[in-house]
Structure 1
Amino acid sequence: MKKDNLIKLISKSSGQKRKKCESAFDTITLLISKSLRNKRNVVIDNFGSFCIKRKKTEIIIIGNYFKKVIPPEDYISFEYSENIVCKEECSDFLDLKEIVSALSVQFNINKEDAGIFAVCIFNTIIDCFRKNRNIEIPKLGEFKTIKSISREFRQSVNFIPVKKLAKNINHYFNDLNSEVQKYKEIYSEYSDSVPEFKISEEFMSEYKEMCNEREDILKDEVNNNAGDGIRKKLISDELIELHKEITNSVSSEKTEKRTNLWG
């Protein structure tokens, strides 16, 4: 459905002139578009919500040697719900009250009448969704309805923003494109082709040099301590025993002489 046909339905359901309905509709469209460009979510009671979300970088493995890198993306996610109420965690978002205030100022009417007018516009759009009609809105995007298979009403609506708005939302990543890159083959724990572990020649040569240096140090220590060992071996055990016997005999003679003196 084009915008002109939608304005006719709004004029018929609200009882207002077409020019006034078109002006109010353009104001609402501008507020939603401007809010999204400024990274503000939009939550409209009993209609739905427009939220800006971000897709993370995605890597897809292609065969054994290639991978596809998909860059991040900021996009608009629309959730259609006739029972939604403003209970967003963030404190800054566009809601129905702000839209009503804008219409009240634009047409110089009280907020109650402006609220009735705004609700009438959104209810007309909901009726189009219920009849599975797609709606195209210039400078905003297209709403595409998905038919429900069951008898129960479970309407689903996809929102596709216009290219200019989508680029504005994704301005951080517009210059990034998907790329296919080569990468080394990944060896799984179940693979038999696990590469053999090898020690580099440079490491082996350094290790041998370190061992040789250690061996030289040990030889020097042995040579330095060899003199003490030789000096110790020059005095044999037999000489030590002989020295003890001579010492004992001399001491015993001295004792006997002292005893005879008193005798």
Structure 2
Amino acid sequence: MLGSLSEADDALQEAWLRASRAGTEGVENLGGWLTTVVARVCLNMLRSRDHRREDPLDPLVSDPIMGPESGSDPVQEAELADSVGHAMLVVLDTLAPAERLAFVLHDMFAVPFDDIAPMIERSAAATRQLAGRARRRVKGGGAVPAADLARQREVVDAFLAATRGGNFDALVSLLHPGVVLRADKAVIPTPEPIRVSGAHAVAKGAMAAVERAQFTGVALVDGAVGLAMARHGRLALVLAFTITDGHITEIEVIAEPPHLRRLALAVLDA
């Protein structure tokens, strides 16, 4: 629900405190009651997170892995992202809190809409609509032919694998000699956007992001195959690629919150 082990711990502790204060005597369905308590705590945390979206992100270069506010284990966070799916965490972060809760509880945990509805103070029918809307966002559209997506994914998967593995030569082989990388001002602490040209220069820059790549996964970005990074289950950075004849000719690195919110992100089918 939250995409972050540290926040999940906080949510469970808060739910435990509420249960301790309220007592459970006379509760016939303890599992359902606790699910409701935890879900409402998560909903409040998601709404609070939404209210803070306008706050600028820390520069990613000075914070390549988890961010200064995290006390959690980066390895455990990476394992969580792998188990849930990086793209799923990224797309969930684009949903409104009520949409996210309805979708996660129903589609991932098979909680009936009649049980979810009181948690978000909606009717069962409205809750079903919220989950359906979220499901369409998660799956995305099908404007790009499947064959083209498959070819794009092959290149992007190879780019991510080479970056995670620190394989400089493999990266260079994927890049067009005249490749251009553009990064907005939120990616690195510079007054102006960055522009890097040439396969070796771009590959060298990618080598500096080896640890960050552990929190990055393949996703649909505006209908094409790209990469998205989620820190603590929150969308932090997107790489959009232009691929021609099997080589990457352009990379756009996006981290500015207003631009991220305009992107259409979806989970790419396996």
Interval containing the TM-score (normalised by the shorter chain): under 0.3
Normalising by the residue count of structure 2, what TM-score does the alignment of the two structures yield?
A: 0.19
Normalising by the residue count of structure 1, what TM-score does the alignment of the two structures yield?
A: 0.19
Larger RCO of the pair (alpha carbons < 8 Å, separation 6+): 2
